Amino acid sequence: MTNSNLTRRGVLKTGAVTGAGLALPTIFTSRASAFTNEPTGSTVTFGFNVPQTGPYAEEGLDELRAQELAVEHLNGMGDGGMLQTFSSKTLDGTGILGKKVQFVTGDTQTKSDAARAAAKSMIEKDGVVMINGGSSSGVAVAVQGLCQEAGIIFMAGLTHSNDTTGKDRKKNGFRHFFNAYMSGAALAPVLEKAYGTDRRAYHLTADYTWGYTQQESIQASTEALGWQTVNNVLTPVGAGDFSSYITPVLQSGADVLILNHYGGDMVNSLTQAVQFGLRDKQVNGKQFEIVVPLYSELMAEGAGDNIKGVYGSMNWNWQLQDPGTKAFVKSFGERYGRPPSNSAHTCYVQTLLYADAVARAGSFNPCAVAEALEGFEFDGMGNGPTTYRAEDHQCFKDVLVMKGAENPTTKFDVLEVVEVTPRAQVEYAPDHPMFGGAEASLGECNDGA
């Protein structure tokens, strides 16, 4: 005979306990969801917003490869890459705060409106806690503004304009990549050594935010050497044929041409300048020279032999020999059969830095994460000791001066490292006039509450 304990009082008691138990997570949720897209399940979603179509699609693809690898490493798959060398040991390959990391991707198309639409969709539909990546300063500034409004963290990808962490800096936005000012500061001493202090420079400049700030930075740093600036001509983005802009250069009496161009424009303007025989000429009794202040491996590949001996700068290069670089190149190279580009590197590092900041803060709350990133000092990520400066959210680290290799053995080593410029040489005050001056401010952190 069975004896049932089912009583009215027992049912009420059990019901009350069960009800309270069920209500408990809701209570926590209602408190925790005070910030945008707080992850409640066993996973957390990152949004990788990169150009998947359009002229920078190759770069975007390389960024995606790196971000995918970073997610694998965070989740404990693969060899761990830079997690082995990263000075912060908070991440242990079990995800972040016990949650597995997953990701969604968006296509910026290298257009500000498309990039914002993609980011908005990932924030609203996919519930991403942060946006990472991109390959244009115009896009970075636009998406950074959106993330600030939405109350999530933006980890910028390849953006080199001073404005991103200058006049357009935001409390929710962070940039690991270097900037135009740093390029100028790093290049100037090398240019002085190679070409002397008595030079006349002619600038061709891409007609948008990045072009302006790079031109301004390079002009300032070369004029500080004693160089004169003969002219600065703005060229439309995607002009294709630059011959009309190149031919007046020789008539101007200039003996250096500085190409403030990136991507396809850089490939075309450099190639055409070489075709017009600029580098074979003697002007003012000196050999005519060309400088490309911002280099990218993927674009250098496109410029072929024309790049030989031409100076430029980079954020990072796979040929560095520090343990962090070696670990990342091994991990990336074995997985994809090619060394990573510097845009891939910055996106990979940004993903790990975000994850580490969350783990250290113990929360996905963007304001807690921002606080953890501000003033954060780290090493082992390929650029030597690095600081995320609290005042403008710009990373300060060594910068590379590069040169087109004379005898590359493969298409991957068309650039060679000339000098690792120490970080102290490229530092500047947070209220520097090129970065918005004293008026520039990060504003308030927004967690979406």
Partner 1 sequence: MEAIILQILNGLDKGSAYALIALGLTLIFGTLGVVNFAHGALFMIGAFCAVVMQRLLGLSYEQVDPTKTDFLGNPLKVQVPYVESWFGPEIGGAIVDWSVPLAIVLAIPVMVILGFVMERGLIKHFYKRPHADQILVTFGLAIVLQEVIKYFFGANPIQSGAPAALSGSFDFGAMLGFDPNVVIYPFWRLVYFLFSLVIIAGVFAFLQFTTFGMVVRAGMADRETVGLLGIDIDRRFTIMFGLAAAVAGLAGVMYTPILAPNYHMGMDFLVLSFVVVVVGGMGSLPGAVAAGFLLGILQSFASMNEVKSIIPGIDQVIIYLVAIVILLTRPRGLMGRKGVMED
Interface with partner 1 (CB under 8 A):
53-58, 231, 233, 236, 238, 240-241, 243-245, 247-248, 250-251, 264, 267-268, 271-272, 275-277, 280-283, 298-299, 301-306, 318-319, 329-330, 333-334, 338-339, 409-410, 412-413
**Toward partner 1, which CB reaches closer, 92 or 305?**
305
Residue number, 208 or 276, with CB nearest to partner 1: 276
**Closer of 413 and 431 to partner 1 (Cβ):** 413
Contact criterion met (CB below 8 Å) for 20 and 13: no
State the nearest-atom distance from the C-beta of 345 to partner 1, in Å.
Answer: 14
Helical packing angle, 57-74 and 342-361, nearest 10°:
40
- Distance between CA 404 and CA 415 in Å, rounded? 5
Least spacing, CB of residue 293 vs partner 1, in Å: 19
Give the Cα separation of 42 and 233 in Å (integer). Answer: 54
Find the shortest distance in angstroms from Cβ 51 to partner 1: 8
> In whole angstroms, how close is the CB of 250 to partner 1 at the nearest point?
6
Q: How far is the CB of 253 from partner 1 (least distance, A)?
A: 11
Tokens representing residue 373 in the block? 């990133």
Least Cβ distance, residue 411 to partner 1 (angstroms)? 10
Q: Which is nearer to partner 1, 43 or 275 (CB)?
A: 275
Question: By C-beta, is 208 or 412 nearer to partner 1?
Answer: 412
Q: How far is the CB of 225 from partner 1 (least distance, A)?
A: 25
Question: How long, in residues, is the chain?
Answer: 449
349 CB neighbour count, 10 Å cutoff = 27
d(CA 95, CA 117): 28
For partner 1, the closer CB: 294 or 299: 299
Closest to 434 in 3D by CA, of 287, 219, 247:
219
Least Cβ distance, residue 277 to partner 1 (angstroms): 4
Minimal distance, residue 322 CB to partner 1, in Å? 15
Check: CB of residue 66 under 8 Å from CB of residue 81.
no
Q: Closer to partner 1 by CB, 137 or 272: give it.
A: 272
Q: Could you give the CA distance from residue 387 to residue 365 in angstroms, rounded to a whole number?
A: 22
| DSSP letters spanning 304-370 | GGGGBT-EEEES--TT--SHHHHHHHHHHHHHHSSPPPHHHHHHHHHHHHHHHHHHHHTS--HHHHH
Whether 343 contacts 176, CB under 8 Å = no
Nearer to partner 1, 25 or 238 (CB): 238
Sign of torsion, CA 215 193 387 74?
positive
Phi then psi for residue 341, to 5 deg, are -85, 170
Toward partner 1, which CB reaches closer, 38 or 289?
289
Q: CB-based contacts of 53: which residues, under 8 Å, 6+ apart?
A: 107, 109
